Amino acid sequence: MPRADRASQFMPFAALKGFESALREKERIEVEKIILSEEALDFLDYQLSLLKVGDMVTITYYDYDAYIKKTGLISNIKKDARYLTVVTTDISFDNIREIQV
């Protein structure tokens, strides 16, 4: 048996297709969206005004009954449409809970 063919017998095998993603979805803890105070909203607006494309950020935002923390470079900011993009994830300004620069 050629050496290249021998390596293929040790390739990973997923017996249950989609099982890993189902487990990740099950780990998700559903919570209600937190209503921020006026002071917190003003602080978030201030932080958003300072952000620019290329900044490295960690954003905690609400998405489908759970809070998610996303870290990465800001690739797009649309102030008129009220959203920003971290890597490839679009995040609405209204769903942002916390920004760490």
CATH code at position 72: 2.30.30.520
Classify residue 73: in a domain, yes or no: yes
Indicate the helix (H) or strand (E) that contains 47.
Answer: helix 38-50
Number of domains in the chain: 1
Pairing of strands 89-92, 96-100: unpaired
Structural domain of residue 46, as residue ranges? 34-101
* Domain contains 28: no
Instruction: Tell me if the pTM is above 0.75.
Output: no
Domain assignment present for residue 83? The answer is yes
Residue 98 is predicted with a pLDDT of 93
Q: Which parts of the chain have pLDDT scores under 50?
A: none
pLDDT at 18: 74
CA distance 44 to 37: 11
Kindly report, residue by residue over 51-69, the tens digit of the pLDDT. Answer: 999 999 999 999 888 888 9
- Looking at residue 20, its pLDDT comes to 74
